[in-house]
Structure 1
Amino acid sequence: MMNALELLNRSWFLSLNAAPGTPAALMAFATFCAQYTLVIIPLTLLGHWFLGGKSGHRRALFSLVTILVALGLGFICTTLWFHPRPFMVPLGHTWIYHAPETSFPSDHATLFFSAGLSLLLSDARVSGGLILLLSLFVAWSRVFLGVHFPLDMAGASLLAVLACLLVRPLWRHLGEPLTSFCESISSRLFSWLPARFTP
């Protein structure tokens, strides 16, 4: 018998899932958010690294480490607990392809939430705030298009918060040496770039 939380999860999903006859423009917007926005994260981190000076290096690395920790926590969740995607139940309507694998937590949402939160914590208010705003659209779109449940997104946001809480105290001790090490590698790899783009 399904517990109350799972029943609520399914009810929320059905209220958010796109139905036949949904306007094409809304479907196109949701598809863009769900499938074509991931590139924004690496581009943002590269922008901080190459254009933000020393503080940009620290922000980019802090965010990258936080993202990796959050995704690692997500991987642990997926290995310990399997939760089917809506189309595996089956439930609702599916509008984009996804492999039939565990749904909880959402990797997309974990990536966006952890990137946005970590950038905000490192005083990158504009890029962090914009990515957090975008993360809400990404989370909505993947439920709307039928490949995730709402609680997959809630779980992703909690993992992002947990990753920030784990990484931030360690960063006070390890951030500076890690940044210096990565700067030395970057200066060798990208020595051909103009000086303002290199450490």
Structure 2
Amino acid sequence: MDDAITQWINSAAGQSILLDMIMTSVTQYGVPLVVLIVALQWWSQHDRLHVRHTCIAAGLSFFMGLGLNQIILLFVHRVRPYDAGISHLVISPSSDWSFPSDHATATFAIAASFLLRGLQRRGIALLAAAAIVCISRVYVGTHYFTDVLGGAVTGILAAAVVRGLYWEGTRVDRLITGFL
């Protein structure tokens, strides 16, 4: 079923120059754009200290999720779908293993951080961006569908761990959120 879903999402790759350009751009610039959006939240006028706390938590979740992925990659060596003949690659090949997707982990860690801290509107917008980034990764042929699902799980898990460990209003939190 994973192969079938991956092929279905990837089936339009190479058929439309415009769609390939859009999906390639989302794959290339999606994560940096989401990070920029979070960074710009620092100067939010509404509930400033809570938003700043959430930005720090999102950054911690981002790095924790990517660290978790590196540990998983030591044990799970899944070939890329284009190497297995499942997908048509429209970007440069990757040099690491396929599972889990770092793009999915990064974007879902950020979105989950906002959702877990009650910033629902921002969190839903970031969740939509994360879903688009994930679809682009399968579309361009570099990931299986379950690679992005696995990445989403590691991102959400990282956000949940950070939620439990990094509390708002602590001395360290007040020091960080009071900066600038």
Task: Give TM-score scaled by structure 1 length.
Answer: 0.80
1:17-76 Cα offsets, whole Å, 9 max, x none, are 134662222222211211112222222222222335212221111111111211111111
Q: In 2, are the aligned partners of 1:98 and 1:147 still within 8 Å (CA)?
A: yes
Structure 1 residues 19, 48: closer, same or farther in 2, change over 3 A? closer
Does residue 106 of the first structure (1) align with residue 101 of the second (2)? yes
> Of the candidates 32, 43, 46, which is equivalent to residue 39 of structure 1?
32
Which residue type is aligned with residue 154 of structure 1?
Answer: L
Give how far 1:180 is off: 2.6
After the TM superposition, which residues 66-105 of structure 1 pair with which residues of structure 2 at under 5 Å, given as runs?
Answer: 66-105=61-100
Which residue type is aligned with residue 48 of structure 1?
Answer: Q
Structure 1 residues 18, 122: closer, same or farther in 2, change over 3 A? same
Match of 1:155 in 2: 150
> Could you say which structure has the greater relative contact order, defined with CA pairs below 8 angstroms and 6 or more residues apart?
2
Does residue 167 of the first structure (1) align with residue 162 of the second (2)? yes
Which residue type is aligned with residue 21 of structure 2?
Answer: A
Partner secondary structure for residue 51 of structure 1: coil
Give how far 1:92 is off: 2.5
The farther-off stretch of 107-116 and 82-91 is 82-91
Q: In 2, are the aligned partners of 1:74 and 1:107 still within 8 Å (CA)?
A: yes
CA distance in 1, matches of 2:127, 2:89: 25
The farther-off stretch of 17-26 and 48-57 is 17-26
Q: Percent identity?
A: 25
Q: In 1, are the aligned partners of 2:49 and 2:177 still within 8 Å (CA)?
A: no
Partner secondary structure for residue 88 of structure 1: coil
After the TM superposition, which residues 104-143 of structure 1 pair with which residues of structure 2 at under 5 Å, given as runs?
Answer: 104-143=99-138
Equivalent residues, number: 178
Give how far 1:129 is off: 1.1
Q: In 1, are the aligned partners of 2:66 and 2:102 still within 8 Å (CA)?
A: yes
CA distance in 1, matches of 2:29, 2:160: 29
Does residue 50 of the first structure (1) align with residue 55 of the second (2)? no
Give how far 1:94 is off: 0.5
- RMSD (Å) for aligned C-alpha atoms: 2.0
CA distance in 2, matches of 1:24, 1:153: 24
Q: In 1, are the aligned partners of 2:61 and 2:158 still within 8 Å (CA)?
A: yes
CA distance in 2, matches of 1:117, 1:20: 29
Q: In 2, are the aligned partners of 1:57 and 1:179 still within 8 Å (CA)?
A: no
Q: Which structure: larger Rg?
A: 1
Does residue 177 of the first structure (1) align with residue 176 of the second (2)? no
CA distance in 2, matches of 1:74, 1:113: 13
The farther-off stretch of 68-77 and 103-112 is 68-77
Structure 1 unpaired stretches of 5+: 1-7, 187-197
Partner secondary structure for residue 166 of structure 2: helix
> Of the candidates 24, 27, 30, which is equivalent to residue 23 of structure 2?
30
The farther-off stretch of 39-48 and 100-109 is 39-48
Which residue type is aligned with residue 122 of structure 1?
Answer: R
